[in-house]
Amino acid sequence: MSKNASTNEISGESGPLTSAFEALQSSPEFRGPVEPLEDHEHAHANDHFALIYESQEEQFATAIPFLRQGLERNERCLYITYENSREEILEAMRDYGIDVDTALRSGQLSIHDEEETYLRNETFDADETVDFIDAAIEEATAEYEALRLTGEMSSVLQEDPEGTELVKCEAKANYLFDDADGIALCQYNRNRFPSDVIHDVISTHPLLIHDERVSYNVYYTPPGEFFGPEKTTREVDRQLGALRDQTDTKVRVQQRERFLRESHEITAEPELDFEEKLGKLLNLVRERLDLDAAGLTHLPSWNDKFLNEYTIRYGDESGEVWTDPGEGCYCREVIESDEPVGMADVRGTDWEDDEIYREHGLTCYLGTKVMNGATPYGTLWVGSTEPRDSEFTETERMFLKLIGQWVSYEVEREEREQSLKESNERLEQFAYAASHDLQEPLRMVSSYLQLIENRYGNAFDEDGEEFLAFAVDGADRMREMIDGLLAYSRIETQGEPFELVEFETVLDDVLDDLQLQIEETDAEITADELPRVKGDGNQLRQVLQNLLDNAITYSGSSSPRIHIDAKRREQEWVISVHDNGIGIESANQDRIFDIFDRLHTRDECDGAGIGLALCQRIIERHDGEMWVESEPDEGSTFSFTLPAM
Ligand code: ADP
């Protein structure tokens, strides 16, 4: 193990950890603040812990995992007993999954009593004990990564009932643990120690464990202060400081909660578009930070200047404004940094030379990077022409960073949607051009086939007539497919604007059109009450017509029994057409929505395999989804969703 005295760094097997404290925090048995208290003057910590407990269960719940972690990190582990017997401790270790026998045999673990350790000279002496620990660390580290020591401290009360020497020893030990490869957990039984000793224990340990929580000790007093004449004054300062810190922390938590709630309300507002949300979010940050101006800039890959895409109270706010921040200032610095960059007062720094300061007087600035996937997109910033008295706090930076992350997400989504739209448009254009251009030669084939039949039909023998019939049929099928493709490619481009559509009326119209088929097949079609929706009436009618047509066509040998219903599901309607027909194998249920894909030959059932592809495309245009649920011979249910009004 390499432990650096200045950084207190330990690299364990589980990856580099900055301290034993973090190692303990990373263990599931302990809870504690993940970060040291923000800006706290007592955030200093060495590897000297005190455990304050009231029951054996509580004691073992900390002491045993503490040792187990040491064994896992190849540290020499030492337990000094007094309250519990050696057997009790070993049994507890086994209960916590420690391979006790191997650890004892190898010498990595040993258990001692007070007479072999603190009280080996019969009296308890602070200096001697510190020397003893120092020597033990040295011996242990010849072979192991560190010495991990834990002791039941009540043994000391035999020789030092007032705890005076003990407290002296604990204060001194802090110097030792500051830079030695040792970690100690001093166990204090609250029921055995006088309260004033516990009070001093709290003062002399930088890290406390109580009720399974590991914490930086805000009441810790560095040894130099603990014994000085100013002890009481310092303690009062410390207590007042701790109270102040606690209140500040609470205020910060409340501020964060409020900010998160308010920003969530804005982003979740369905009526607002991106720019309106952005404006509201930036105003929220501006108000919280008490700043005038804000904006979003974009640095396109083809230009070395930033474009002010959105600004509040900065520049002339109208039209496109390009800006060229100098080297390493404002947005130029932000785009290079993963964390927000803040300047409470740019005066007297090289940012003063930048045109953003010279022309717009932006004296105080906080910016965060906006990404488009893995590519930097630009910056989101707030600022003011007035300097600020204080630097930006972590909380303030976090506010802007969170909004920046939301903008990044939106920018990426917008780009994805745009490129999908473009590729769809290109595909539609291609399908349209291809099908349109194919119509002409096909028309020629058909009319010449017609001509051949009219003029030379009588000259054909039986085979010749059959061949001709195949050719005519092929041309007919091709026309059907081309018409289908044309219709498919026009759904987006030739659709009508959305209006109010009564689904009941749509159904009546479709039933009129299918009248003949219904009578021929003796079909029975029933429906629940159907909703009113917003959409393209003609297209929705096409959807229902195709689905009912299929339900009749694929009914098998029994007469078609078809039912249509509509169910409300949160913000949408789910409309379903149930039939009692031949059903579809699950392996084919996705395929049937592909264009020209059919499960039947034309001899079995007529059709071009385009109906469901058209339906799905129309429903997608209405921001809905379409799917089928079916079992062979058990009938099918085709469902689609439409946004509710
Ligand atoms: P077409 O009906 O012209 O073949 P569709 O796209 O409407 O084209 O349907 C594709 C395939 O899905 C059909 O060929 C058929 O095999 C299957 N199918 C559609 N609707 C049903 C249904 N209600 N029951 C069983 N199979 C169906």
pLDDT digits (tens, 9 = 90+) for 448-471: 999 999 999 899 999 999 999 999
pLDDT of the residue at 39: 41
CB-ligand 1 contact for 581 (6 Å cutoff)? yes
Listed range (224-233, 487-496, 561-570) with the worst mean pLDDT: 224-233
C-alpha 181 – ligand 1 centre gap (Å): 75
Whether 218 shows a pLDDT value over 80: the answer reads: no
Contacts of 190 (CB under 8 A, 6+ apart): 52, 53, 54, 198
Q: Which residue has the higher pLDDT, 127 or 44?
A: 127
* Collapsed DSSP state (helix, strand, coil) of residue 272: coil
pLDDT of the residue at 38: 41
Torsional class of 214: left (φ above 0), alpha (ψ -120 to 50), beta (otherwise): beta
Do 350 and 378 contact (CB within 8 A), yes or no?
no
* Collapsed DSSP state (helix, strand, coil) of residue 123: coil
Rounded Cα–Cα distance for residues 82 and 221 (Å): 28
Q: Whose CA is nearest to atom 16 of ligand 1?
A: 599
C-alpha 441 – ligand 1 centre gap (Å): 29
Convert the pLDDT of each residue in 328-345 to its tens digit. 899 999 999 999 999 999
CB-ligand 1 contact for 205 (6 Å cutoff)? no
CB atoms within 10 A of CB 285: 23
Percent of the chain at pLDDT above 70?
Answer: 91
C-alpha 586 – ligand 1 centre gap (Å): 14
Tokens of 434: 């291809």
pLDDT of the residue at 10: 32
Convert the pLDDT of each residue in 266-311 to its tens digit. 999 988 999 999 999 999 999 999 999 999 999 998 888 999 999 9
C-alpha 394 – ligand 1 centre gap (Å): 60
Whether 492 shows a pLDDT value over 50: the answer reads: yes
Q: Which ligand 1 atom is at minimum distance from the Cα of 607?
A: 3
User: What is the arithmetic mean of pLDDT over 418-426?
Assistant: 85
Q: Which amino acid is at 594?
A: D
CB-ligand 1 contact for 636 (6 Å cutoff)? yes
Q: Which residue has the higher pLDDT, 366 or 438?
A: 366
Rounded Cα–Cα distance for residues 207 and 36 (Å): 11
Convert the pLDDT of each residue in 234-261 to its tens digit. 778 888 888 888 888 888 889 899 999 9
C-alpha 611 – ligand 1 centre gap (Å): 8
Whether 13 shows a pLDDT value over 50: the answer reads: no
Indicate the pTM of the whole model: 0.57
Closest to 548 in 3D by CA, of 564, 559, 536:
564
Q: Whose CA is nearest to atom 8 of ligand 1?
A: 609
Whether 478 shows a pLDDT value over 70: the answer reads: yes
Do 400 and 382 contact (CB within 8 A), yes or no?
yes
Q: Whose CA is nearest to atom 4 of ligand 1?
A: 609
- CA dihedral of residues 120, 122, 127, 133 (deg, nearest 10): 20
E strand segments, 300-363: 306-312, 321-323, 341-343
Whether 225 shows a pLDDT value over 60: the answer reads: yes
Rounded Cα–Cα distance for residues 403 and 82 (Å): 56
CB-ligand 1 contact for 607 (6 Å cutoff)? yes
Whether 544 shows a pLDDT value over 90: the answer reads: yes
CB-ligand 1 contact for 354 (6 Å cutoff)? no
Burial degree of 30 (CB within 10 A; 0-12, 13-18, 19+)? buried
* Collapsed DSSP state (helix, strand, coil) of residue 502: strand
Q: Which ligand 1 atom is at minimum distance from the Cα of 614?
A: 6
Whether 23 shows a pLDDT value over 80: the answer reads: no
C-alpha 610 – ligand 1 centre gap (Å): 9
Rounded Cα–Cα distance for residues 624 and 204 (Å): 66
Q: Which residue has the higher pLDDT, 16 or 477?
A: 477
Do 539 and 495 contact (CB within 8 A), yes or no?
yes
Burial degree of 472 (CB within 10 A; 0-12, 13-18, 19+)? middle
Tokens of 182: 């040792």
Convert the pLDDT of each residue in 435-448 to its tens digit. 888 888 899 999 99
Q: What is the best residue among 481, 594, 598 to mutate for testing ligand 1's pocket, by most ligand atoms within 8 Å of CB?
A: 598
Q: Whose CA is nearest to atom 7 of ligand 1?
A: 611
Q: Which residue has the higher pLDDT, 493 or 269?
A: 269
Q: Whose CA is nearest to atom 20 of ligand 1?
A: 550
CB-ligand 1 contact for 582 (6 Å cutoff)? yes
Q: Encode burial over 574-592: b for 16+ CB neighbours within 10 A, e otherwise.
A: bbbbbbbbbbbeeeeeeeb
Do 541 and 512 contact (CB within 8 A), yes or no?
no
Contacts of 385 (CB under 8 A, 6+ apart): 292, 293, 360, 361, 362, 363
Grade residue 24 by pLDDT with cuts at 50, 70 and 90.
Answer: low
CA triplet 625, 631, 636: central angle to 5 degrees? Answer: 50
Rounded Cα–Cα distance for residues 610 and 618 (Å): 12
Q: Which ligand 1 atom is at minimum distance from the Cα of 581?
A: 24
- Start-to-end CA distance of the chain, whole Å, equals 66
Rounded Cα–Cα distance for residues 311 and 471 (Å): 67
Helices (H), 361-393: none
C-alpha 536 – ligand 1 centre gap (Å): 23
C-alpha 595 – ligand 1 centre gap (Å): 11
Grade residue 116 by pLDDT with cuts at 50, 70 and 90.
Answer: confident
Do 151 and 79 contact (CB within 8 A), yes or no?
yes
CB-ligand 1 contact for 595 (6 Å cutoff)? no
Residue/partner pairs of 622-626 with CB below 8 Å, 24 or more apart: 622/498, 622/535, 622/536, 622/539, 622/540, 624/572, 626/593
Convert the pLDDT of each residue in 598-641 to its tens digit. 776 766 666 778 899 999 999 999 999 999 999 999 999 999 99
C-alpha 546 – ligand 1 centre gap (Å): 9
pLDDT of the residue at 42: 38
Q: What is the best residue among 481, 554, 577 to mutate for testing ligand 1's pocket, by most ligand atoms within 8 Å of CB?
A: 554
CB-ligand 1 contact for 639 (6 Å cutoff)? no
pLDDT of the residue at 336: 93
Whether 37 shows a pLDDT value over 70: the answer reads: no
Percent of the chain at pLDDT above 90?
Answer: 57
CB-ligand 1 contact for 550 (6 Å cutoff)? yes
- In the numeric block, the tokens 């802090």 are attached to 174
Q: Whose CA is nearest to atom 13 of ligand 1?
A: 598
CB atoms within 10 A of CB 159: 16
Whether 14 shows a pLDDT value over 70: the answer reads: no
Q: What is the best residue among 521, 550, 577 to mutate for testing ligand 1's pocket, by most ligand atoms within 8 Å of CB?
A: 550
Burial degree of 565 (CB within 10 A; 0-12, 13-18, 19+)? middle
CB-ligand 1 contact for 592 (6 Å cutoff)? yes
Helices (H), 96-230: 100-106, 126-141, 164-179, 195-204, 223-226
C-alpha 32 – ligand 1 centre gap (Å): 61
CB-ligand 1 contact for 61 (6 Å cutoff)? no
Rounded Cα–Cα distance for residues 263 and 401 (Å): 12
Tokens of 205: 């340990």
C-alpha 567 – ligand 1 centre gap (Å): 24
Highest mean pLDDT among 37-46, 208-217, 618-627: 618-627
**Running DSSP on this structure, what letter comes out for residue 310?**
E
Q: Which residue has the higher pLDDT, 371 or 316?
A: 371
C-alpha 514 – ligand 1 centre gap (Å): 17
Highest mean pLDDT among 280-284, 413-417, 419-423: 280-284
User: What is the arithmetic mean of pLDDT over 565-593?
Assistant: 93
Helices (H), 383-457: 394-456
Contacts of 111 (CB under 8 A, 6+ apart): 78, 79, 80, 81, 86, 89, 90
pLDDT of the residue at 461: 92
Tokens of 462: 């039986």
Rounded Cα–Cα distance for residues 545 and 469 (Å): 30
- The per-residue pLDDT of the chain, averaged, comes to 87
Tokens of 600: 């039947």
C-alpha 556 – ligand 1 centre gap (Å): 12
C-alpha 45 – ligand 1 centre gap (Å): 72
User: What is the arithmetic mean of pLDDT over 306-321?
Assistant: 82
Q: Which amino acid is at 477?
A: R
Rounded Cα–Cα distance for residues 44 and 178 (Å): 10
CB-ligand 1 contact for 554 (6 Å cutoff)? yes
Burial degree of 595 (CB within 10 A; 0-12, 13-18, 19+)? middle
Whether 80 shows a pLDDT value over 60: the answer reads: yes
Grade residue 53 by pLDDT with cuts at 50, 70 and 90.
Answer: very high
* Collapsed DSSP state (helix, strand, coil) of residue 71: helix
pLDDT of the residue at 333: 94
C-alpha 598 – ligand 1 centre gap (Å): 6
Q: Which amino acid is at 624?
A: G
What does 533-588 look like in DSSP terms, one character per residue?
EEE-HHHHHHHHHHHHHHHHHT-TTSPPEEEEEEEEETTEEEEEEE--S----GGG
Q: Which ligand 1 atom is at minimum distance from the Cα of 609?
A: 8
What does 606-618 look like in DSSP terms, one character per residue?
---S-HHHHHHHH
Rounded Cα–Cα distance for residues 366 and 345 (Å): 11
Q: Whose CA is nearest to atom 1 of ligand 1?
A: 609
C-alpha 609 – ligand 1 centre gap (Å): 7
User: What is the arithmetic mean of pLDDT over 541-568?
Assistant: 95
CB-ligand 1 contact for 81 (6 Å cutoff)? no
pLDDT of the residue at 34: 40
Helices (H), 268-307: 274-289
